[in-house]
Amino acid sequence: MESSWTINLEDNTIIYGTKNSANKFADSAIFIVHGLTGHMNEYAIKRAADYFHSSYDVYRFNLYDGEEGARQLINCSIKTHADDLNTVLSEFSGLYKKIFLIGHSYGGTTIMCANPSNITAVSLWDPSFNLNRIQKDFVQIPFVNNDYYVLNWGNSYLIGKDMYDEAGKLDENACINLAKDFLSPVQVIHAGDGLYVNDEISYHSFGNKNNIRDIVPDSVHCFYEKNTCDVLLDKTEKWFIKNS
């Protein structure tokens, strides 16, 4: 069963989301957070909703949307995303005994910044770590009196100055501190052919003693090559079961 939901926010914007379930009572839920310039219907995220829905209620939502009244990316920061995640959790998490989170790319950083309480376990899929470095590696061109920046990732996207400046402050030490302060056990799953797999540390390296790191070979960040998404979901499921 797939159903749509909305949350009206205090700033008169709206979060649009989707819930997947087996149309029966579930005592556990998974909340999925997409990455920068992403959306809730990306391949791995939609696959996760279909994969987990028989055992968990699965919530996914857009951090910005083309729907009426939704946020726009140019008006967002990572703090905005983190606050919205906590709002979604406040709305729905009380219905369940166990809450699990999945975050892809910038969605991983969103989860770490939100640092919600009472979370059973978290799986971060190739999460953005040391965002200051990423800012230097990917060309981001000032636009319109430096009020916005253009992300050149093949397609071009606009982000606001607040998000650009915020990412510049999230260097390695800042991300280490996020990991140290995080309340829940963390699994980091790196793409075997991606950027972050070469790093010695990530969000799993500090904080909860049960944190782990896994690798999905032959994938570059988004886990859509061959059967890499199957491997990703299997590793995520085993981590959630281990912490149940």
Q: How many CB atoms lie within 10 A of CB 34?
A: 25
Residue 46 C-alpha from the chain's centroid: 13
How are strands ordered across the β-sheet holding 2-8? 2-8, 14-20, 57-61, 28-33, 98-104, 121-125, 186-191, 212-216
pLDDT (tens place) for every residue of the chain, 244 residues total:
999 999 999 999 999 999 999 978 899 999 999 999 999 999 999 999 999 999 999 999 999 999 999 999 999 999 999 999 999 999 999 999 999 999 999 999 999 999 999 999 999 999 999 998 877 666 567 777 778 888 877 788 899 999 989 999 999 999 999 999 999 999 999 999 999 999 999 999 999 999 999 999 999 999 999 999 999 999 999 999 999 9
Spatial separation of the C-alpha atoms in residues 220 and 231, rounded to whole Å: 13
Phi/psi at 70 (nearest 5 deg)? -80, 165
Spatial separation of the C-alpha atoms in residues 39 and 223, rounded to whole Å: 15
